[in-house]
Amino acid sequence: MISAEDLIALVRNYNPKTNAERIERAYEFGLQMHEGQFRHSGEPYFSHPVAVAAILTEQRLDDATIITALLHDTIEDTKASYGKVAELFGDEVAKLVDGVTKLTNLQLSSRETKQAENFRKLFMAMSKDLRVILVKLADRLHNMRTIKAMRPEKQVQKARETMDIYAPLAGRMGMQWMREELEDLAFRVLNPEGRQSIIRRFITLQRETGDVIHRITGDMRHELEKAGIEAEVFGRAKKPYSIWRKMQEKDQGFSRLSDIYGFRIITGSEEDCYRTLGAIHQRWRAVPGRFKDYISQPKSNGYRSIHTTVSGRDGKRVEVQIRTRQMHDVAETGVAAHWSYRDGVRTENPFAVDPAKWISNLTEQFDNEEDHEDFLEAVKLEMYSDQVFCFTPKGDVVKLPRGATPIDFAYAIHTRIGHACVGAKVDTIRVPLWTRLKNGQSVDIITADGQMPQVTWLEIAVTGKARTAIRRALREVDRERFIKLGKELARAGFENVGRKATDKALDTAAKHLRLKDRHELLARLGSAELTAHELVEAVYPELTKDDGDAISPRRAVIGLEPGQKFDRAPCCQPLPGERIVGITYRGKGVVVHAIDCDRLSDFEDEPERWVDLHWHSGTHPAVYGATLDLTIGNDAGVLGRICTLIGEKKANISNLEFVDRKPDFYRLMINVELRDLEQLHSLMLMLEAESDVAAVERYRESAKSAVAAG
């Protein structure tokens, strides 16, 4: 346990004018009041208030807050009274201690109806003096650091409460370091295996790559010195929970995450911040969409900094934060910077937010709220980092993941409501179904008899419940349509090899493919679960073999090293006859791109990975996929004629997907297997001449607009 002298020394480091005698009296009073009390770990109980006070010295807080930390449990757990504390240490400290006591008694994680009223009391206490919550957050941080002494079930309860309430609250107050530590300590309890797996992978990564942080900070310091900029550079690996959350959000494994390192540059002036940004971007390539200027547009809690992400050594992405020392002080302590001391006086930090104004802005919209449940969902749950909570017209609360849409909301209420959804109103205003819902919004789902789920809903919905229900309904609703479409694809596929799609041929194929019957086969063909090529091959394998004189796909590209493998890039789908270039990947061989592929710009700074390639000049088999974006008239027989035309050009349809359906037209993506670029141009020219085809384009993922026909 820290002694009174050591605690006073910590305060003197930032406030030489501290009232040491007053802090010592508070220390002795707290020690006396808690005499005979012990923590779960067996330590004297008073070691906890002292540790909380020490945490608050890291934020350079005033004497009253430090004394409150030392006494924060005396009114609740000892014979000390409010009057006694006020008599010995003044009304200011007594009110703060009383405020912390009341917060401790609030059951913020309770499932009972009083939870809403408790949260209202939390914000009322914060509005009176924000230092109350600063002490409470430090109290929770120390409890989480020493949580192992608690019973397992109590650990889980405290960890969940920390993750759901205290960590987001610390983040809202701008105390990001505290938020990260609280989250990671809770993560250690709630998912120890997940945390250990992250740490193990980090150790493996460091063993393979060495001290990346040391190398990159050295590179950054070198660039800043060249630019004549005086600055401090710090680097760190992100916390295990931060990495875990990023893996969940991006649905990626650890090996695919790139920006797991963060770097901070502290400059002497705002002007130097922007000069530093220029030096960093001049040396490393900036990642598009990952730049934020919080200096020109500060956050509501006073946070100012420039954020950018750049590609560092070995193509690794690293996040860089650039700020001045004063901005850094606010970034570290958030709203608490208002009380910070330095050299015995309150810090005149121009970036520190007035706490009274901050809490007023936070609670203003709820001042006249009479419904406690509405208050709870709109205030408490707005702090959650990964969930949104919305209301039905009757006031029921619906919990959804962040990013959810009205479609998810409808299915969360009932599958029947989801199926019949035709629109939605959010806060009484009609909105598109792809609108992202926010905390506290009221959502009214508009339904209609006869409405059924649409294919496009799968791209809109984010919850597993909604997507599963939509897929199940689509399979039933679309079965007949898929069977009809499957008949057209089967007819075109068999005609492509000079045969007819008879019932006997389809029955034979279904038996060979181990499907129930030909109707199941046609339904799978129409829903793109089966290709026409696979269907024909099941009956006439000898007719689907490649031409013996055709060039094997394995040796179609010239310019590779002996034994080197290649894959066509899915973004541009290069075809024989197009100018191509290869990009090497360690352990994966070469990926071939068309020379005009947008994605090649990602490799401009790595010329050593480029390989000069070209296609073999002979005849190629029709096995190279390309995607056509077609808009066709919504008339009987049109799709069948399109499939026939494609078959006549000796091109095989491998997949077909409807993108948009309107009363007068369909827009669909058709994947076709071709020999070369010449066959593609010939096919597109023929389709363009068809009267029922409104538009035909070659689709490429990376292009801002598709490459038009001709």
Mean pLDDT for the stretch of residues 170-183: 83
- Tell me which amino acid residue 684 is: M
Q: Is 77 a catalytic residue?
A: yes
Given CATH 3.10.20.30, say whether it is the number of domain 386-477: yes
* CA–CA distances in Å: residue 459 to residues 1, 312, 403, 432, 463: 57, 34, 12, 13, 11
Q: Is the dihedral of CA 97, 102, 104, 109 positive or negative?
A: negative
pLDDT in the model for residue 7: 92
- For the chain, residues classed under CATH 3.10.20.30 are 386-477
CB atoms inside a 10 Å sphere around CB 530: 23
Task: Give residue-wise pLDDT tens across range 641-673.
Answer: 888 888 888 888 888 888 887 777 888 899 999
Residue 705 has pLDDT above 90, yes or no: no
- The secondary structure of 254-321 as a DSSP string is GGG----EEEEEEESSHHHHHHHHHHHHHHSEEPTT--EETTTS--TT----EEEEEE-GGG-EEEEE
- Determine the pLDDT at residue 417: 94
User: pLDDT (tens digit, 9 = 90+) per residue, 60-91?
Assistant: 888 999 999 999 988 888 888 889 999 999 99
Tokens of 218: 């050295």
Please, what CATH class does the domain formed by 194-346 belong to?
Answer: alpha beta
HSE-CB for 693 with a 13 A CA cutoff: 23
The SS3 call for residue 72 is: coil
Catalytic residue, chosen from 76, 180, 507, 676, is 76
In whole angstroms, how far apart are CA 11 and each of 1, 18, 291, 340?
16, 7, 38, 11
Q: What would the two tokens of residue 224 be?
A: 């800043």
The first and second tokens of residue 41, run together, are 């770990």
Asked if pLDDT for residue 320 goes beyond 60, the answer is yes
d(CA 202, CA 224) in angstroms, rounded, equals 29
208 or 221, which is more confident?
A: 221
Instruction: Evaluate the CA torsion angle 464, 470, 476, 479 in order and state its sign.
Output: negative
The values of phi and psi at residue 302, to 5°, are 95, -5
pLDDT in tens, 577-589: 899 999 998 767 8
pLDDT in tens, 539-561: 877 666 555 567 878 888 888 88
CB 582 within 8 A of CB 566: yes
Q: Is the pLDDT of residue 346 over 60?
A: no
Q: Which of 24, 43, 58, 77 is catalytic?
A: 77
Q: Is the pLDDT at 382 greater than 50, yes or no?
A: no
- Phi-psi map region of 4: left, alpha, beta (phi>0 left; psi -120 to 50 alpha): alpha
Exposure on the CB side of residue 380, measured as CA atoms within 13 A: 26
Per-residue pLDDT at 704 exceeds 60: no
Angle at 688 between CA 682 and CA 690, to 5 degrees: 110
CATH fold of 4-190: Hypothetical protein af1432 (1.10.3210)
Question: Given a cut of 90, is residue 593 above it in pLDDT?
Answer: yes
**Would you tell me the crossing angle of helices 63-71 and 4-12 to the nearest 10 degrees?**
150
More confident residue, 413 or 254: 413
With the CA atoms of 159, 164, 170 and 172 taken in that order, what torsion angle do they form, in degrees rounded to the nearest 10?
A: 170
Which residues belong to CATH 1.10.3210.10 in the chain?
4-190
What is the reported pLDDT for 172? 73
Residue 344 — very low, low, confident or very high, per pLDDT cuts 50/70/90?
A: low
Residue 542: its pLDDT value, please? 66
* pLDDT of 707 strictly over 60: no
Res 422: pLDDT: 92
Instruction: Give the angle 561-564-566 at the CA atoms, nearest 5°.
Output: 120
Tell me which of 307 and 256 has the higher pLDDT. 307
Confidence tier at 339 by pLDDT (50, 70, 90): low
Region 36-48 average pLDDT:
89
Which of the pair, 6 or 639, is modelled with greater confidence?
A: 6
* The pLDDT of residue 226 is above 60: yes
Residue with the larger pLDDT of the pair 42 and 358? 42
With a pLDDT cut of 90, the percent of the chain lying above it is 24
Torsion of the alpha carbons at 53, 56, 58 and 59, rounded to the nearest 10: -160
Tell me the average pLDDT across 347-363: 57
Q: Where do the CATH 3.30.460.10 domains begin and end in the chain?
A: 194-346
Which of 141-150, 558-567, 635-644, 679-688 has the highest average model confidence (pLDDT)? Answer: 141-150
Q: What share of the chain is helix, strand, coil (3-state, %, to 5)?
A: 50, 20, 30
The C-alpha angle with vertex 474 and arms to 470 and 479, in degrees rounded to 5, equals 165
pLDDT tier at 193, thresholds 50, 70, 90: confident
Whether residue 50 is predicted with pLDDT greater than 90 in this model: the reply is: yes
First CA to last CA distance, the chain: 80
| pLDDT at residue 618, rounded to an integer | 76
Instruction: Tell me: pLDDT of 113 over 50.
Output: no
343 is a catalytic site residue: no
Banded model confidence at residue 385, pLDDT cuts 50, 70, 90: very low
DSSP 231: E
Query: How many Å apart are CA 33 and CA 545, to the nearest integer?
Result: 90
d(CA 528, CA 669): 11
Higher-confidence residue: 143 or 665?
A: 143
- Looking at the predicted structure, is the pLDDT value of residue 418 above 80? yes
- In terms of DSSP bridges, do strands 665-674 and 652-661 run parallel, antiparallel, or are they unpaired? antiparallel
Mean pLDDT of the chain: 81
What's the rounded Cα separation, in Å, for the pair 287 and 294? Answer: 17
Tokens of 166: 């205290």
pLDDT tens digits along 258-311? 567 789 999 999 999 999 999 999 988 888 777 888 888 887 667 889 999 888
